[in-house]
Structure 1
């Protein structure tokens, strides 16, 4: 009898222990699921952009913005890369925007245009601001066999500011000016004219332009509150701004590789800091001058052997 009782007791205790283990496993599973669940904050009822308040109560506007927030936030590799590069390039872009009198929010335009890469589009637009060759030349960006100033961050940012200010003088609305960066001022006005509308948010556009402003707004929302969307910049190895010096070149450099080696670095570093240089030489005519960016002395952008 005692043996039977002991066996039953052992069986009961084993069943209880197994049930406890299963409960702990289930609790752990739920904890993991909860920690990996995608939880985004509700979209705001309104948001500030370029000094104006955008009302986001309309269901259509909210859904269009929501789509871009989801697509941007879920494209983790691209977004993390953009955040890393923004830490390096935004200070210079912000400085130029302020100097030109363009709202600071337009720094996000460079993310939606190129993700802060020297990108080349299938139709031939290039650089952070994706200028087409014809438009680039209208805004004094030089393009020839040796150089392409669409890839000069400082000059192309000034050019983008001038374009935006020209559009704003005609449209008198920073939201429509944003759309015009994609569609062109004439295209924005034509769309509104045939539809009898007075604003971007009331106008039917082609797919790309229809998403364009909302992509910028989504970028602003996520960049300015990254933790809410699952990104933690303080835990990332953000790219620091390059420590540089600038020199003015007023005579031809027949061989940039030899010239760079003579300066104590190499053409790879020269091209990294001056991506607008297309070939191995820089020809200057008619008293023309160029500013070249060089690495500052003793900083961590130098030939590999210098670290040994």
Structure 2
């Protein structure tokens, strides 16, 4: 009984300290007493998110109780939880992109969970480009993009085309699944390459990609996907409180098909009642100020509507109700 009383006393002191330390921040005061500064330089308390005992990926239950898996998941959970602005931005962007991506994955027989691979690949930034040259939401390298049917050159780069790049990613996933028969191995191969994952599965006599000893980037990659899914499915649990009006709505647009060259996209944008910047924003696969089209190929341009370009919080809908608190 005395031992329990002592423990309760210590816990009470810790709680009082945390609350007291938070008062300057909560009240908006910039004054920190000399006594407080001597005790702590950080006026708030940080807690570790709880690692779930298990998670699922395409219906497969993944046991996270084993120490190595648990600690790898813990690292990614903490990263997502405390990269506040980045994680919150991801949820906001998902409201715009998931409605486009999910139907394409489903139509191609790819597990819905692969949208979280896209999340960690590009931070849902459709114009993302890595130092190595990978581009778009799915971060295709130029040669890989061409291999899976994308046009990639200095005038048109379909790695930045949301729908076409997603279809190309689905082709890659199907090819890899035919080799491995395991979706988690497919995700690892997307990062490290099929050759490397195949050779390591053979060398290490491993039955599951998550049990391989790999370079840190790939080792973290699989757990980042799982952590992203956990955060997206339970944002409030990890401290992300968003309202519907905070989310980014899909941009309404009209489709215009062209099968000829456009000499000046600045003039073309103006003729459509939008700016060149808005044309590039909704069609980031356009890589120059003109569209060269000597072969007569048909391209589809997305032209945002005038009404759709203006934000109306009353009309913003949450694609996933779990993301918001209202």
Calculate the TM-score normalised by the size of structure 1: 0.85
Which residue in 1 is equivalent to 2:98? 90
1:182-224: per-residue Cα shift (whole Å, max 9, x none)?
0111110111212222211221111111111000001111111
3-state SS of paired residue (1:291): strand
Which residue in 2 is equivalent to 1:15? none
Distance in 2, Cα, partners of 1:80 & 1:263: 34
Q: Which of residues 65, 68, 74 is equivalent to 1:60?
A: 68
Which residue in 1 is equivalent to 2:107? 99
Contact 2:210–2:222 (Cα < 8 Å) also in 1: no
1:220-263: per-residue Cα shift (whole Å, max 9, x none)?
11111011111012276111110111121111111111111111
Contact 1:40–1:228 (Cα < 8 Å) also in 2: no
Which residue in 2 is equivalent to 1:129? 138
Contact 1:269–1:301 (Cα < 8 Å) also in 2: no
CA 1:27/1:205 → structure 2, altered by over 3 Å: closer, same or farther?
A: closer
Q: Which of residues 204, 215, 219 is equivalent to 2:213?
A: 204
The alpha-carbon deviation at position 98 of structure 1 amounts to 1.1
Which residue in 1 is equivalent to 2:58? 50
Which residue in 2 is equivalent to 1:150? 159
Distance in 1, Cα, partners of 2:216 & 2:118: 20
Distance in 1, Cα, partners of 2:18 & 2:168: 57
Gapped regions of structure 2 (runs ≥ 5): 1-15, 27-43, 312-326
Alignment of 1:184-223 (within 5 A): 184-223=193-232
The alpha-carbon deviation at position 28 of structure 1 amounts to 5.8
Q: Which of residues 176, 187, 202 is equivalent to 1:178?
A: 187
Matched, 1:70 2:78: yes
| Rg (Cα) greater in structure | 1
The structure in which a higher percent of residues are helix is: 1
Q: Which of residues 151, 168, 173 is equivalent to 2:177?
A: 168
Which residue in 1 is equivalent to 2:20? 29
Matched, 1:241 2:250: yes
Distance in 2, Cα, partners of 1:123 & 1:286: 30
Which residue in 2 is equivalent to 1:19? none
Distance in 2, Cα, partners of 1:143 & 1:31: 52
Gapped regions of structure 1 (runs ≥ 5): 1-24, 303-308
Distance in 1, Cα, partners of 2:163 & 2:308: 21
Distance in 1, Cα, partners of 2:310 & 2:270: 14
Which residue in 2 is equivalent to 1:298? 307
CA 1:244/1:235 → structure 2, altered by over 3 Å: closer, same or farther?
A: closer
Contact 2:81–2:87 (Cα < 8 Å) also in 1: yes
Structure 1 runs (4+) greater than 4 angstroms displaced: 25-28, 30-33
Give the alignment's Cα RMSD to 1 decimal.
2.1
